[in-house]
Amino acid sequence: MMFKTKRDDEEEEQHQGQESDNEEGGNTDREIEMEGPEAEDAEMEEETVWSIQELSCSKICSGSEDRVSRSFKVAVVGSGPGGFYTAHRILKQVPQSSIDMYEALPVPHGLVRFGVAPDHPEVKNVINTFDEVAENPNFRFIGNTSVGTFVTPGSKKADLEVADLAQHYDAILLAYGAHEDRVLGVPNEKSLRGVMAARSFVGFYNGLPSEQDLDVDLSKTDTAVVIGQGNVALDVARILLTPLEDLKKTDLTEKMIKILEKSTVKHVHVIGRRGPLEVAFTSKELREMLQLPGTTFHMDRNLLASEMERAGKSLDRPRKRLMGLLEKGIKESKPNQPKSWSLQFLRSPLEFSGDGKDGTLKAIKLGINRLEGEDNNRRAAATGAKEELECGLAFRSIGYKSVGIQGVPFDSRKGIVPNVDGKVIDENSNIVPGLYASGWLKRGPIGVIASTMADAYQTADTIISDWTRGEPMLDSLSSGGAPVLDILRSKGHKVVSYQDWKKIEQKEFEMGTRLGKPREKFVSVDEMLKAID
């Protein structure tokens, strides 16, 4: 994925115009259309825990005269771009700030490491800024240390809860991202071999430890389907169709390279429930798909023409360029190449069907839609017509979603921590002193590096404003995270520092050099921890 982008949410296909809306009016709530079983799930998850409010209320000092002289202690939960860019801004603007960044894994950088596509190394240049932040003497990375048990039943207990941190910091920034993906809620989605979340697949090939047991076999079929038309969907399609010799030069894991060596996948269909004007992918990613060697591109030329005619002059520049690129792609596509990919529109999966013998995906039943509603808010409505598409692999790519953690307000419908410009609020829109959010947890799983950075800076400005104006925060009189670390160590917990991470990274670079690639990632927490010693 991304940084680059993850505007990958078919549920939230965005027009660029909406980005400008955000700019004009602060946080614009995006409408998330929920359908069928998904909506029911959300209802059930609606029970939310708000206990941080009570916790923090007892700790507020109304005055803050001492803030001028003492250090400003901030805990950041999560080490992706949302966390790092917020930390960057706070350290720059508040010289007496001191930041502890907690990360559940031994390795930092979140989706820059585990989401950004291996063949987009230039996007990973953002890490240089993160390294600069980490070199600040007032910054401490606390890796291998999870904060906040997920509210999902059966979740593993975290090393620390938000309440454990509250007594040691002035502010806690939540930036732990989006851990789950949206499901379609159709029969056999979870039971058949060959059907998986794009999020899991992306995590698998990027070396995310929790996804390394994913059952990935690309050698049983020549056809894969990706459901969803965002940039994650195109990342998956591109990884499946890019010549292996090109991918071998990237930091794609050797484990994935071995799987791709046996791949028989030749055709990839990328399916969306609405039309070409509603796609969520962006032009860079589309251009890459159209430049794949030996690959024919298919799409309904008449649908594109009629949709463009209907939209007429109302298209903004980004959308106009994107549609122009599709037109050019259709026109210049070379027929009868060994591989192919297609964009298919107005199709909603109704059911996955499998082979009775071994429970492997054989086909997807698709419902055919038509578009209804206003120009800028068109909905897919079922026509009642159906068709079947044979395939042996299907990747669900209709968006990521965040999960709530213990003791923190969470809006399960939107899949975010409710907030005003990064300031966390509870269900009655009361502010929760000292608690902030940034990244995808703050505004949902969309946006490129520029929007994530701008958004993180907005949260940083909110935090800095509260600090300098003497607004109530957690106002801990403790000296910061040292006591927390002492407790963890006394329990035998292994804390990973940024210097430790640099040792891990050095070994990854060395392994990469031997393999002729930029780095070879460790794919298990044990290997990462061993690399430090």
Partner 1 sequence: MPRPAPGQGIKVNFITREGETVTVEANEGESLLDVARANDLDVEGACEASLACSTCHLILDDDSFSKLEEPSDEENDMLDLAFGLSDTSRLGCQVLMTKELAGLTAKIPSATRNMYVDGAKPKHH
- Interface ranges with partner 1 (CB under 8 A): 3-5, 16, 19-20, 22-27, 53, 57, 120, 122-123, 125-126, 128-129, 282-284, 287, 317-318, 321-322, 420-423, 425-426, 428-431, 448-451, 453-455, 457-458, 461-462, 465, 472
447 is in an annotated binding site: yes
Q: Which is nearer to partner 1, 24 or 135 (CB)?
A: 24
What is the three-class DSSP state of 171?
strand
Q: CA–CA separation, 382 vs 379, rounded Å?
A: 10
126 is in an annotated binding site: no
Question: Residue 509: is it exposed, middle or buried by C-beta count within 10 angstroms (0-12/13-18/19+)?
Answer: middle
What is the three-class DSSP state of 444?
coil
Q: How many CB atoms lie within 10 A of CB 364?
A: 24
Distance from the Cα of residue 224 to its chain's centroid: 22
231 is in an annotated binding site: yes
- Smallest distance from partner 1 to CB 469, Å: 9
Output the six-digit token pair for 397: 């790519």
Q: Which is nearer to partner 1, 69 or 429 (CB)?
A: 429
273 is in an annotated binding site: yes
- Smallest distance from partner 1 to CB 447, Å: 9
Q: CA–CA separation, 270 vs 292, rounded Å?
A: 15
C-alpha angle 414-3-120 in degrees, rounded to nearest 5 = 140
346: which DSSP letter? S
Q: CA–CA separation, 255 vs 190, rounded Å?
A: 24
Name all contacts of 510-518 with Cβ < 8 Å and 24+ positions apart. Answer: 512/251, 515/254, 516/248, 516/249, 517/248, 517/249, 517/250, 517/251, 517/252, 518/121, 518/250, 518/251
Q: Which is nearer to partner 1, 171 or 380 (CB)?
A: 171
> In 3D, which of 405, 442, 500 has the Cα closest to residue 82?
442
- Smallest distance from partner 1 to CB 192, Å: 36
341 is in an annotated binding site: no
- Say if residues 338 and 296 touch (Cβ distance below 8 Å): no
Q: Which is nearer to partner 1, 351 or 421 (CB)?
A: 421
How, if at all, do strands 423-425 and 393-396 pair?
unpaired
- Smallest distance from partner 1 to CB 169, Å: 20
What is the three-class DSSP state of 225?
strand
- Smallest distance from partner 1 to CB 422, Å: 7
Q: CA–CA separation, 113 vs 521, rounded Å?
A: 9
91 is in an annotated binding site: no
- Smallest distance from partner 1 to CB 294, Å: 22
- Say if residues 364 and 3 touch (Cβ distance below 8 Å): no
- Smallest distance from partner 1 to CB 511, Å: 24
Could you give the maximum distance between any two Cα atoms of the chain, in Å?
74
Distance from the Cα of residue 6 to its chain's centroid: 6
Q: How many CB atoms lie within 10 A of CB 34?
A: 16
230 is in an annotated binding site: yes
147 is in an annotated binding site: yes
What is the three-class DSSP state of 5?
strand
- Smallest distance from partner 1 to CB 267, Å: 26
70 is in an annotated binding site: no
- Smallest distance from partner 1 to CB 140, Å: 23
- Smallest distance from partner 1 to CB 3, Å: 8
Q: Which is nearer to partner 1, 70 or 328 (CB)?
A: 328
Q: CA–CA separation, 248 vs 251, rounded Å?
A: 8
Q: Which is nearer to partner 1, 450 or 487 (CB)?
A: 450
> In 3D, which of 513, 427, 429, 421 has the Cα closest to residue 458?
421
Q: Which is nearer to partner 1, 2 or 361 (CB)?
A: 2
Q: Which is nearer to partner 1, 223 or 231 (CB)?
A: 231
Q: Which is nearer to partner 1, 123 or 216 (CB)?
A: 123
Q: Which is nearer to partner 1, 284 or 530 (CB)?
A: 284
115 is in an annotated binding site: no
444 is in an annotated binding site: no
Q: Which is nearer to partner 1, 2 or 227 (CB)?
A: 2
Q: CA–CA separation, 508 vs 517, rounded Å?
A: 10
What is the three-class DSSP state of 33?
coil
210: which DSSP letter? G
- Smallest distance from partner 1 to CB 126, Å: 5
481 is in an annotated binding site: no
Beta-bridge partner residues of 150: 405
354 is in an annotated binding site: no
55 is in an annotated binding site: no
Give the residue ranges of the annotated binding site for NADP(+): 229-232, 273-274, 285, 447
Q: Which residues are annotated as a binding site for FAD?
A: 103, 111, 147, 440, 447-449
Which residues carry a binding-site annotation? 103, 111, 147, 229-232, 273-274, 285, 440, 447-449
